[in-house]
C-alpha cells in the first residue's frame, strides 16, 4: 500500500488531549496518590510556556512534548522508582497514542499522603 492511497490532510492534536493522556497515565502508576496544582509562584512562568491543568503542565516546541507533573505520592513507596515509572509510562503513552516525541518529563513531588490515624 502506498501513500497515494491515503487522502491528503493533516491531523491536529489539541493540548487537552496531551494533558488528559499525561494525567490519566500518571494516575495509573502504582504509588501515585493524586496530582496537585503547581506552587503559585511557578504558575505564571509555566503558563507562559504552555498549557496547564490539574497538575500537568505541557509545552510543545517543534512537535516535541515537554512535561512538568506535580504529584502527591502514597506513603511507603520508593520515590525514585515511582518517579522513574511515571516518566517511562507518560513518555510511552504519548509516543504510542499520539506519535509525538517527548523531550523531558519533570516530576515534582509536592507531598506524600499518609493515612489518617483513626485511633484518637
CB 22 within 8 A of CB 58: yes
Angle at 32 between CA 64 and CA 60, to 5 degrees: 10
Q: Where are the domains of the chain?
A: 13-113
Q: How far apart are the first and last CA of the chain?
A: 70
Q: Fold for 13-113, please state it.
A: Alpha-Beta Plaits (3.30.70)
At 31-84, the pLDDT tens digits run 999 999 887 765 545 555 567 778 999 999 998 999 999 999 999 999 999 999
- The pLDDT value recorded for residue 77 is 95
What is the three-class DSSP state of 7? Answer: coil
Tell me the per-residue pLDDT of 16-39, one tens digit each, with 9 for 90 and over. Answer: 999 999 999 999 999 999 999 887
pTM score, whole prediction: 0.83
Amino acid 5: pLDDT: 79
Amino acid at each position: 500500500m502506498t501513500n497515494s492511497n491515503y487522502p491528503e490532510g493533516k491531523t491536529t492534536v489539541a493540548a487537552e488531549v496531551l494533558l488528559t493522556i499525561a494525567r490519566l497515565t500518571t494516575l495509573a502508576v502504582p504509588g501515585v496518590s493524586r496530582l496537585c496544582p503547581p506552587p503559585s509562584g511557578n504558575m505564571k512562568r509555566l503558563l507562559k510556556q504552555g498549557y496547564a491543568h490539574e497538575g500537568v503542565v505541557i509545552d510543545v516546541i517543534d512537535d516535541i512534548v515537554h512535561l512538568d507533573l506535580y504529584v502527591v505520592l502514597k506513603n511507603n513507596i520508593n520515590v525514585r522508582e515511582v518517579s522513574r515509572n511515571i516518566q517511562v509510562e507518560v513518555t510511552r503513552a504519548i509516543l504510542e497514542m499520539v506519535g509525538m516525541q517527548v523531550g523531558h518529563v519533570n516530576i515534582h513531588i509536592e507531598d506524600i499522603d499518609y493515612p489518617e490515624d483513626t485511633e484518637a
